[in-house]
Structures are given as structure tokens and as C-alpha cells.
């Protein structure tokens, strides 16, 4: 039977998968406000398309961090102390983005709106980039000593491998967001979103392939979980090809599902490759943080499991209901709040 340590590792993985799937299209739409939109009206349409969802989607990240703190405190301590600077910048970007959504429409001033539009763009670009850099560093390995202290220099975190991961995730979120836009808008904006997504598929595919090849040669996760990861990669390739096929057929819902599947499989591969480790030491494998030496006590995990299983259905039910209520497309003639 699965242990509580394994269960919470899986739950944290699911939370991160949900975050990148849901917040991924939010980030993409945020970037679209500067890349796709031609005027203020189109920007407001794009922002309104994610208006009911973006703050709820961020809860997945907060919950994942909270679960990590409670279930694996040593993992949480090493991670957040070692990546303090990237996390501060990601947090500031998320704060600026959230404030911009609320403040942008408070004044009818071009300069005012342009200022907040810049915040929305960078607040949508930086978090996925920085989080991808962090996750790539996980699987590449970091200088962690026997006391679970991480002493990472700049090049340990920012290097060719992690930067490629960051750019890949940003582009993947953008394509995912473009497909969400095709589901929530009509007319010319919808058509341009679909066309841009199709144009970005080729560079995205090249980046994904490069990242997989680099992962094979620069990390040990294929040695640890080679067969399972090969299956995940194969499924990812199939999902990627299907996303392009559905785009050409204007099956936007299916295409959105496939870009989301690529995101979900990518995050899954990281956790599969890590298991049973949670952070890899580049100094000595004996210093790896695992689901055993980084975990809370059995009683704490048991209580947390009972509470989580009690509350989780209500949380999921609420979020599913919100997507159902706000499923209609956003039209230009409707009242635009932002």
C-alpha cells in the first residue's frame, strides 16, 4: 500500500500540475495583452476572459506551498531559503499583476493604463519563467550539504539548461493561453489567437525537443525512471501533434485540452524523475532530500490527510462551479470592466 509520505508527494505533484495547467492559460492571456491585442478594447476583452478565474487558479500554488511546508518541512526550508531571490521576484510579479487587474480600469488615462499593462505583461511572463528555472534546477541537482543546507551560486541556478526550461514553459503557457482565448472570444480576435498559436507550434516543438535531449544528457532522471519517462515523452509528443491537428480543424476545445496535456505531462515527468527524492544534491547522493528524510512525523501526516480529504471535494466543487457559471464567451459589446 502507498505510504503517507508517498501520498503527500503525489498530492503536491497534483497541485503543481493543476497550477501550471490552470494558471498557465492565465499567464498566456496576460502576455497576449501586449502581443495579440491591437487596442484597448481587445486588451479589456482578454483581461475579462480570465477575470473570474485568475485569482482562484493562483490558490493551487499557495496550497502546494502550504502542503509542502506541512508534509515535508525540510524540503520547504531548503527550497525557499535556497531560492529566496527568484521567489521574491516571482512573488512581486504576481502581486503587481493582481494589482494591475484591479487598478487598470480605475482611471481613464492612457499613461495610467499603459503602466498597468506593463505590469500585467511582466507579471505574466516572470512567474512561469522563474518557476521553470527552479524546477529545472531540481532535476539537474544543486549543492546541498549533509545538513540540508543549499549553497547555490548564480550559475547553479541560471545556466543554459534552466534558461531553456524557462523559455520553453513561457512559450508553452502562451500557446495554452492563445487556445483559451479561442474558447472565450469571437470574431477577429479569436481567429488571430488561433493563427498565432499555429505559428508558435514549430518553435515550441523545437524547444520541447531540445529540453528533453538536454534532460537526457544533463540529469540522471532517465537513468532512474527511464521506461516511465519514455512513455510520458511519447504521450507528450502525441498530445503536441494532436494540438496542431485540432488547431487546423478549428476544434479549439480539443486543442486547448492537448496543450494542457503537454503541460500536465511535463510537470508529471519532473516529479516522476525525482521520486523518491524531492531535491537532488550535486555534492553527494547521500545528501539528497527524500520523501523520508524531509517529511513530517506519521501523526502529522495522518491528521493532514484526514483534513485534506474532507475539505478537498468542496474546494474542487467550488472551482468547477465557477468555470461552469462563467463559461460564456466575452463579446466586445458587453460591459468591459477592466
Pairing, β 277-279 against β 289-290: antiparallel
Tell me the C-alpha distance between 220 and 187, whole Å.
48
Percent of the chain with pLDDT over 90: 75
Does pLDDT of 86 surpass 70? yes
How confident is the model over 145-149, as a mean pLDDT?
91
Question: Three-class SS of residue 281?
Answer: strand
Kindly give the residue spans of alpha helices, DSSP state H, lying in the chain: 4-35, 40-50, 54-71, 73-82, 84-103, 110-140, 154-157, 160-184, 187-218, 221-248, 252-274, 298-325
With bands split at pLDDT 50, 70 and 90, how would you rate the model's confidence at 120?
A: very high
For residues 120 and 261, the answer to whether their CB atoms sit within 8 Å is: no
Read off the pTM.
Answer: 0.92
For residues 279 and 79, the answer to whether their CB atoms sit within 8 Å is: yes
pLDDT in tens, 196-221: 999 999 999 999 999 999 999 999 99
Does pLDDT of 237 surpass 60? yes
pLDDT, position 321: 80
Tell me the C-alpha distance between 242 and 260, whole Å.
12
Does pLDDT of 331 surpass 70? no
Does pLDDT of 236 surpass 90? yes
Amino acid at each position: 500500500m502507498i505510504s503517507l509520505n508517498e501520498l503527500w508527494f503525489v498530492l503536491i505533484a497534483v497541485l503543481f500540475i493543476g497550477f501550471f495547467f490552470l494558471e498557465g492559460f492565465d499567464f498566456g492571456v496576460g502576455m497576449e495583452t501586449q502581443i495579440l491585442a491591437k487596442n484597448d478594447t481587445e486588451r479589456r476583452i482578454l483581461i475579462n476572459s480570465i477575470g473570474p478565474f485568475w485569482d482562484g487558479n493562483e490558490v493551487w500554488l499557495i496550497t502546494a506551498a502550504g502542503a509542502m511546508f506541512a508534509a515535508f518541512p525540510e524540503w520547504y526550508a531548503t527550497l525557499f531559503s535556497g531560492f529566496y531571490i527568484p521567489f521574491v521576484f516571482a512573488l512581486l510579479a504576481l502581486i503587481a499583476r493582481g494589482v494591475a487587474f484591479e487598478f487598470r480600469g480605475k482611471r481613464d488615462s492612457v499613461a495610467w493604463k499603459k503602466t498597468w499593462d506593463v505590469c500585467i505583461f511582466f507579471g505574466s511572463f516572470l512567474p512561469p519563467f522563474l518557476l521553470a528555472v527552479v524546477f529545472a534546477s531540481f532535476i539537474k541537482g544543486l549543492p546541498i550539504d549533509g545538513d540540508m543546507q543549499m549553497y547555490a551560486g548564480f550559475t547553479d541556478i541560471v545556466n543554459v539548461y534552466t534558461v531553456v526550461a524557462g523559455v520553453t514553459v513561457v512559450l508553452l503557457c502562451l500557446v495554452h493561453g492563445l487556445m483559451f482565448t479561442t474558447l472565450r472570444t469571437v470574431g477577429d480576435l479569436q481567429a488571430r489567437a488561433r493563427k498565432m498559436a499555429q505559428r508558435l507550434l514549430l518553435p515550441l516543438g523545437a524547444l520541447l525537443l531540445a529540453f528533453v535531449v538536454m534532460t537526457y544528457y544533463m540529469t540522471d532522471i532517465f537513468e532512474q525512471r527511464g521506461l516511465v519517462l519514455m512513455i510520458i515523452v511519447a504521450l507528450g509528443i502525441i498530445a503536441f501533434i494532436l494540438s496542431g491537428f485540432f488547431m487546423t480543424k478549428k476544434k479549439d476545445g480539443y486543442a486547448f485540452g492537448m496543450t494542457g496535456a503537454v503541460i500536465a505531462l511535463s510537470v508529471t515527468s519532473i516529479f516522476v524523475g525525482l521520486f523518491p527524492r524531492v531535491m537532488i544534491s550535486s555534492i553527494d547522493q547521500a545528501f539528497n532530500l527524500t520523501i523520508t528524510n524531509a517529511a513530517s512525523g506519521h501523526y502529522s501526516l495522518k491528521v493532514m490527510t484526514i483534513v485534506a480529504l474532507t475539505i478537498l471535494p468542496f474546494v474542487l466543487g467550488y472551482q468547477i462551479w465557477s468555470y461552469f457559471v462563467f463559461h460564456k464567451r466575452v463579446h466586445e459589446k458587453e460591459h468591459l470592466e477592466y
